[in-house]
A and B are shown apart, each in its own frame.
Chain A
Amino acid sequence: MNITISPDTGRPGTEVALAGRFDGHEAPAFRAAVDRLLADARHDLRVDLSAVEFVDSAALAELVRGMKHCRQAGGDLRLASPSTPVRVILELTRLDLAFAID
């Protein structure tokens, strides 16, 4: 999975674009990236999921963890343009109700 961080996209927040398969094997890299951003006081994250093919439960847990930490810091972690497979998984798990989705 590729993780691309773009601080200045013209939209509010820092964009974290993911591509490929986001699963338990990739979750630690995502966690590290989010933790680095939080440590830099970047609490508004926009996670672009348009190029993600699949998310498993570990990835979903990381997204939820990131959202909680961002909200605790006064910001938010929003999901942007989830691909169809990801959208279906979010609906099945009802997490589409928990996240702000652009």
Chain B
Amino acid sequence: MADRTLDSYRQWATVPLNGTPDYSVVIPTCDDQLHIAPAVGAVASHLCTVDGTWELIVADGGSTDDTVKLVRQLDLANLRIVTVPDGERPGSPRGRAAALRAAVAAADGPLILTTPVDQAIPVEQFMLFVDRVRRGDEVVVGTRTGDDWRFDGDRPTTPPGRPASRLQRAVLGRTFLDPGCGFAVYTAAAARLLFPASRMGHDAMGLELLHLAHRHGLRVAEVPVAWTGAAAEAARSVGPSNLNVVRIRINTMLGRYRSAAERRPGERPATPAAGPEPATRSS
């Protein structure tokens, strides 16, 4: 079994896919030269055990270290790198979000997985999410709210990613358990609907995407995931700030999330400064 997986990996690494992949895996990066190779290895070794073909896209949000160089040096046949589109500032929250949007736009698979580069959420949970999609969910997001945690320090008293629930409920009309988790599976149709409409920086993008998914009436599932990390990391990933929650509400009120089909005849689209960045594809 192990040898078959290794053979499958070597085939994936050297022979370009012929046709559309079954899965597109997107790893967002920004100054992650220490994480990217192990992350690619973990994703590759797992995806090579599942049925179906797959591609890997690294969405680099403007690394100033050797992340991009390392990815290119890996020279893997089915790995592409997408960088920050022109007009966005590399490394900024908006630039990182724009790179992720561009990567999703470039993805060819009918299912799109996003996974954090640090692999704090083991990718082996991917197929559980795929099963949820097969049962009808269109957006399946991980939540670090279950019992399967591991920390190298004191366990934080506040669950990681737990948002400011009362504010969210008051402002957005609903709460989400862990919008900053980053481990999610989207149907391609859902991703094509949500990502181009998003306009927040990467730090609030998860909440925004969930908000948009509910606005569009998509079937959304929040699934607890096993994860590992440091208490300090958990403290940093407490979800979007209150200001960003309010910004999402303002964007909603101003009609910035409405698609062209929803706008009244003659109504102008959202202002260019706040509009979604153009998606570009690079390799």
Tell me the A residues contacting B by CB distance below 8 Å.
21, 23-25, 53-58, 60, 83-85, 87-89, 91-93
- Nearest first, the 10 closest Cβ-Cβ pairs linking A and B are A89-B41, A85-B45, A25-B152, A57-B34, A88-B45, A88-B41, A84-B2, A56-B38, A84-B5, A92-B41
Closest-by-CB residue of B relative to A87 is B6
Which of A25, A89, A93 sits near B228, CB closer than 8 Å? A25
Given contacts A55-B38, A56-B38, A93-B37, contact A88 B228 (CB under 8 A): no
B42 touches A89 (CB 8 A): yes
Which of A53, A56, A87, A88 sits near B35, CB closer than 8 Å? A56
Q: How far is the CA of A53 from the CA of B230 in the complex (A)?
A: 19
Given contacts A25-B228, A84-B45, A88-B45, contact A57 B6 (CB under 8 A): no
Residue pairs across A and B with Cβ atoms less than 8 A apart, 16 shown, are A21-B122, A25-B150, A53-B122, A53-B124, A54-B42, A56-B119, A57-B38, A58-B34, A84-B2, A84-B45, A84-B49, A87-B6, A88-B9, A89-B37, A89-B38, A89-B42
Q: How far is the CA of A87 from the CA of B46 in the complex (A)?
A: 12
A75 to chain B, nearest CB (A): 27
Q: How far is the CA of A91 from the CA of B119 in the complex (A)?
A: 18
Besides the known contacts A25-B230, A85-B45, A89-B42, 19 further A-B residue pairs in the complex with CB atoms under 8 A apart = A21-B228, A23-B228, A25-B228, A54-B42, A56-B38, A56-B118, A56-B119, A84-B2, A84-B5, A84-B6, A84-B45, A84-B49, A85-B46, A87-B45, A89-B38, A89-B41, A89-B45, A92-B41, A92-B44
A57 touches B35 (CB 8 A): yes
Which residues of chain B are near A55, meaning CB under 8 Å? Answer: 38
Closest-by-CB residue of B relative to A81 is B2
Q: How far is the CA of A55 from the CA of B46 in the complex (A)?
A: 13
A50 to chain B, nearest CB (A): 9
A62 to chain B, nearest CB (A): 13
Which residues of chain A are near B98, meaning CB under 8 Å? Answer: none
Chain B: interface residue count, which band?
20 to 34
A57 touches B37 (CB 8 A): yes
Which residues of chain B are near A84, meaning CB under 8 Å? Answer: 2, 5-6, 9, 45, 49
A88 touches B37 (CB 8 A): no
A57 to chain B, nearest CB (A): 4
Which residues of chain B are near A87, meaning CB under 8 Å? Answer: 2, 6, 45
Q: Is B40 an interface residue (CB 8 A)?
A: yes
Name the interface residues of B198-250: CB closer than 8 Å to any CB of A.
228, 230
Q: How far is the CA of A53 from the CA of B46 in the complex (A)?
A: 10
Q: How far is the CA of A92 from the CA of B6 in the complex (A)?
A: 12
Which residues of chain A are near B228, meaning CB under 8 Å? Answer: 21, 23, 25
Q: How far is the CA of A58 from the CA of B152 in the complex (A)?
A: 14
Which residues of chain A are near B150, meaning CB under 8 Å? Answer: 25
Q: How far is the CA of A21 from the CA of B121 in the complex (A)?
A: 12
Residue in B40, B41, B151 whose Cβ sees the most chain A Cβ within 10 Å: B41
Which residues of chain A are near B230, meaning CB under 8 Å? Answer: 25
Which residues of chain B are near A85, meaning CB under 8 Å? Answer: 41-42, 45-46
Which residues of chain A are near B42, meaning CB under 8 Å? Answer: 54, 85, 89
Q: Is B128 an interface residue (CB 8 A)?
A: no
Which residues of chain B are near A54, meaning CB under 8 Å? Answer: 38, 42, 119, 122
Q: How far is the CA of A27 from the CA of B34 in the complex (A)?
A: 15
A88 touches B44 (CB 8 A): yes
Closest-by-CB residue of A relative to B1 is A84
